[in-house]
Amino acid sequence: MLNLDYTISNLKGKTILITGGASGFGAAFAARWASAGAQIIIGDINPAGETIVAQIRTESANENVHFIHLDVTSWSSQVNFFRQAVQLSQHGGIDAVVANAGINDRDEARQLENPTVDYLNDPHPPAPSSKTVDVNLSGVLYTVHLAQWFLPRNPDSQPCSESEQTSHRDRHILLVGSTASLHPLISQAPYTITKHAVLGLFRCLRVTAPVSGGIRVNIICPYFTDIGLMNAPARVILAGVPIGQPEDVVEAATYLMANQTCSGRSLVTGPRLKLGLPDRALLSRESLDEQTGEGEDSERGVWECQLHDVETADIFTERMLKAVKAVVATRGWIGWAKGLAGALAWPVMKNWNKA
């Protein structure tokens, strides 16, 4: 098993919301974190979540595990989920939100690329289904939007910090992407585009959320894993190919959840392999800079990805600040203020000139 640097007791007393927690990864996260003493609130469209909650309560000897009916595609259902969660929370706040609910509807994917409706003659031709987009993208956006409102209001929480390993009240969004966030899953366009979009969301929020709401944002991108969405057709296609172990996905997610210095981190999980590649996984950015690039030969199923993106964003921000400073230095603060006033007045002047 991997040696990840976290203190599991940090999860004790944390209130964690998990969408799509009635089965698969969501249920596995819930079981692991409930055993560590976290308060878990599962939201799922599947009423089987009640049974899962009862089972987790018994196995973890933790009564603070709850199920709330949730349809992530419905805004009112999501608002209700967050409001009820705050009511249930032992400390009146939410420490972490896992936007995990997701589907992969292969029929929808096939129909999208193979239209069968007679669009010339059908009097009422139906639009193609957008179910996958509704769940995997709109649903995630609703969840994340509400998380960005509720997390900074978590009583006694502090803005996230990459430098300090603490166990104070948290503000954490964990996104669930896929390796389909990083490369196309040919013939499954809806799933691919939604998982690419979740990665795009992560790449934006990892920069802004720590600043705007003190929220740390991380993502896991699992490869095909022996759980949940891995249905019979997928197993046939992948027959003989090694697939990911659910324990590695749970371990990667637990690391990101329990180690509060993790911010803007993206972990890929997959089959356990010895790749002999530089050990880029599970390192802070600072220690990554010090890497010699030597290959490592131990077997692992968790890897860091998209690190270059942090550097690109940092360089962009740094250059923007330098450019602003250069303008201020050349024109002086008064010149800069005049320029800004001109920019703000531009919409009014534009309409004035039109009239």
Ligand X SMILES: NC(=O)c1ccc[n+]([C@@H]2O[C@H](COP(=O)([O-])OP(=O)(O)OC[C@H]3O[C@@H](n4cnc5c(N)ncnc54)[C@H](O)[C@@H]3O)[C@@H](O)[C@H]2O)c1
Q: Based on CB atoms, which residue is closest to ligand X, 88 or 229?
A: 229
Least separation in angstroms between residue 37's CB and ligand X is 23
Q: Based on CB atoms, which residue is closest to ligand X, 78 or 89?
A: 78
- Cα(291)–Cα(294) distance, rounded to whole angstroms? 8
Q: Based on CB atoms, which residue is closest to ligand X, 103 or 209?
A: 103
**Strands 96-99 and 15-19, sheet pairing:** parallel
Q: Based on CB atoms, which residue is closest to ligand X, 264 or 270?
A: 270
- Cα(180)–Cα(162) distance, rounded to whole angstroms? 28
Q: Pull the structure tokens for residue 18.
A: 């998990």
- Residue 244: closest CA among 301, 300, 192: 301
Q: Based on CB atoms, which residue is closest to ligand X, 138 or 161?
A: 138
Contacts of 105 (CB under 8 A, 6+ apart): 129, 131, 132, 190
Least separation in angstroms between residue 206's CB and ligand X is 18
Q: Pull the structure tokens for residue 296.
A: 């490592």
Length of the chain: 355
- Residue 141: closest CA among 99, 203, 185, 87: 99
Contacts of 140 (CB under 8 A, 6+ apart): 72, 99, 101, 175, 194, 198, 201
Least separation in angstroms between residue 204's CB and ligand X is 19
Least separation in angstroms between residue 303's CB and ligand X is 14
Looking at beta carbons, which residue is closest to ligand X?
24
Least separation in angstroms between residue 212's CB and ligand X is 25
Q: Based on CB atoms, which residue is closest to ligand X, 46 or 261?
A: 46
Least separation in angstroms between residue 308's CB and ligand X is 22
Q: What letter represents residue 255's amino acid?
A: Y
Q: Based on CB atoms, which residue is closest to ligand X, 176 or 281?
A: 176
Q: How far apart are the first and last CA of the chain?
A: 70
Query: Counting Cβ atoms within 10 Å, is residue 41 exposed (0-12), middle (13-18) or buried (19+)?
Result: buried
Least separation in angstroms between residue 22's CB and ligand X is 4
Least separation in angstroms between residue 180's CB and ligand X is 7
Residue 118's CB is within 10 A of a number of other CB atoms, namely: 9
- What is the residue whose two structure tokens read 């929370």? 89
Least separation in angstroms between residue 332's CB and ligand X is 52
Q: Based on CB atoms, which residue is closest to ligand X, 71 or 95?
A: 71
Residues that bind ligand X (CB under 6 A): 19-20, 22-26, 44-46, 70-73, 100-103, 135, 139, 176, 178, 222, 224-225, 227-230
- Residue 174: closest CA among 296, 266, 238: 266
Rg (CA), the chain: 23
Q: Based on CB atoms, which residue is closest to ligand X, 92 or 242?
A: 242
φ, ψ at 43 (rounded to 5°)? -120, 130
Inter-helix orientation angle 139-150/189-212, to 10°:
10
